[in-house]
Amino acid sequence: MWGESVLEEYSLLEKFRDIVYYCFKCGMCRFESYEGIDNGESLSSLFMDVCPMWDLWKLEAYTALGKNEICRGLLEKKIPFNEKTVKIIYACTLCGACEKQCSVSRKTKHIERFGGSLLPYNPLEIALALRLQAVKTGVGPLPQHKKFSESIRVNKNPYWEPHQDRFKWFKGSLPKEAETAYFVGCTASYRQQMIAENAVKIFNKLGVEFTLVDEWCCGSPLFTTGQEEFIKELAIHNISVLEDAGVRRLIVSCAGCYRTFKKVYPEILGENLPFQVLHMAEFLSEKIEKGRLNFTSTINEKITYHDPCHLGRHCGVYEAPRRVLAKIPGLRFTEMRRKIDHSYCCGAGAGFRAAFPEASVKVAGLRVKEAEELGVDSLVTACSFCRRNLDDGVKAVDGKIKVYNIEELVAKAMGC
């Protein structure tokens, strides 16, 4: 997602010295350009906000345009790398909506740099590089990010929970070796255990032999907050224990874990992983296509689906969860207007929830209200982090809809 490795350079902002001048300052990074509007509708109906930071503060400093200008200001030594600057840098979920909306980003993929190499403009990559540089310079990350970094080092999870309790939710026995492994992730292990419990029910119902390994945090919270030093150790450990267990297929529920295995680990290690990585939605979709997943129960609910940023925009997985939901008997599926590439973030990612908890839940509440406007019974997602924040969003706006992860509905429809 973020192109060539940004983990090997120290002066990370120097690579953007020419690129930052490409920004048109048009502000389209914060809006969804909606196609298919009927004639006669107001101009305001042509666009919808897609940047949560713009919705929260209505200041360009917090948008991709602003991050670009911060990068330019730092390179030109016109602004300091201080506490205020760093706070703005981290006031972002790195959801990637700006990159999808930015016309310059799309057009400059074909602009040649001096010497003939391509010079792509990607506001998301600039935003991440600012964080990496802040940490390397010693002015970042924010205190809350340092806390979960410390916990990951000690407890192998960001929640300050004992590592030995990671699989406390699991009841049963497992083989030491299996071709399939389930990577639970920290949030489903300690905070959203219903996701892991239902995933296991699905595996058992399908007769899929699987194992759990001594997993450590995948490192996504560290990567997205610029704390890259410890990630390689996490990657080597997680890959090693999976290899030792003879794993050839890894299934994950968390969108952040999925992106880390699919994108970050190969980038950090400089080689492809020795096993296939599937999100649970992809695994279930494959089973449906092969006629190996049968639903025996009807779920009479009207639902909509929330695209997790790490699964959707960052990794391009859009259709698999929709194919699964479409096959569940009784479900009446309707789309929110902001979907696929234009989906609105849940507000939890990239350390934003840790550093700005009230703002994070406010963003989730905005997404919940968007779903409720459709008159749905339930909001479904495919990420343990999204599920947690959206559930908090329902409470914050006194909403009535239910929030599910896809495993919960599938297990119910399978009669588990």
Q: Write down the pLDDT at residue 48.
A: 78
Rounded mean pLDDT, 239-252: 98
Cα-to-chain-centroid distance, residue 27:
24
Q: Write down the pLDDT at residue 171.
A: 92
- pLDDT band, residue 351 (cuts 50/70/90): very high
- The answer to whether residue 105 scores a pLDDT higher than 70 is no
- The answer to whether residue 344 scores a pLDDT higher than 70 is yes
Sorted by where each starts, the structural domains of the chain and their CATH numbers stand as: 14-140 (no CATH), 146-285 (3.40.50), 289-413 (3.40.50.11810)
Q: What is the mean pLDDT of the chain?
A: 91
Top pLDDT among 1 and 176 is at 176
- Percentage helix, strand, coil for the chain under 3-state DSSP, each rounded to 5: 50, 10, 45
Strands (E) across 360-407 are located at 378-381, 402-405
- The answer to whether residue 31 scores a pLDDT higher than 90 is no
C-alpha 338/C-alpha 341 separation (Å) is 8
Of 90-104, 215-229, 249-263, 382-396, least confident by mean pLDDT is: 90-104
Q: Write down the pLDDT at residue 355.
A: 98
Tokens 């096993």 — which residue? 275
Q: Report the 10 Å Cβ neighbour count for 211.
A: 17
- The answer to whether residue 364 scores a pLDDT higher than 80 is yes
Question: DSSP 3-state assignment of 111?
Answer: coil
Q: Write down the pLDDT at residue 101.
A: 86
- What share of the chain has pLDDT > 90, as a percent? 80
- pLDDT band, residue 245 (cuts 50/70/90): very high
Q: Write down the pLDDT at residue 314.
A: 96
Dihedrals phi, psi of 202, to nearest 5 degrees: -65, -45
Tokens 């929110």 — which residue? 336
**Alpha helix segments (H runs only) across 102-219:** 103-107, 123-137, 143-155, 186-190, 193-206
- What share of the chain has pLDDT > 70, as a percent? 89
Rounded mean pLDDT, 167-176: 95
- The answer to whether residue 36 scores a pLDDT higher than 80 is no
Rounded mean pLDDT, 189-211: 98
C-alpha 307/C-alpha 371 separation (Å) is 12
- The answer to whether residue 10 scores a pLDDT higher than 70 is no
Rounded mean pLDDT, 52-58: 95
pLDDT digits (tens, 9 = 90+) for 110-168: 444 444 444 567 899 999 999 999 999 999 999 999 999 999 999 999 999 999 999 99
C-alpha 8/C-alpha 409 separation (Å) is 42
Rounded mean pLDDT, 373-393: 98
Cα dist. 226→65, 76, 84, 219, 309 in Å? 20, 22, 17, 11, 18
Tokens found for residue 113: 């740099």
Q: Write down the pLDDT at residue 12.
A: 84
Judge whether 225 and 350 are in contact, CB under 8 Å.
yes
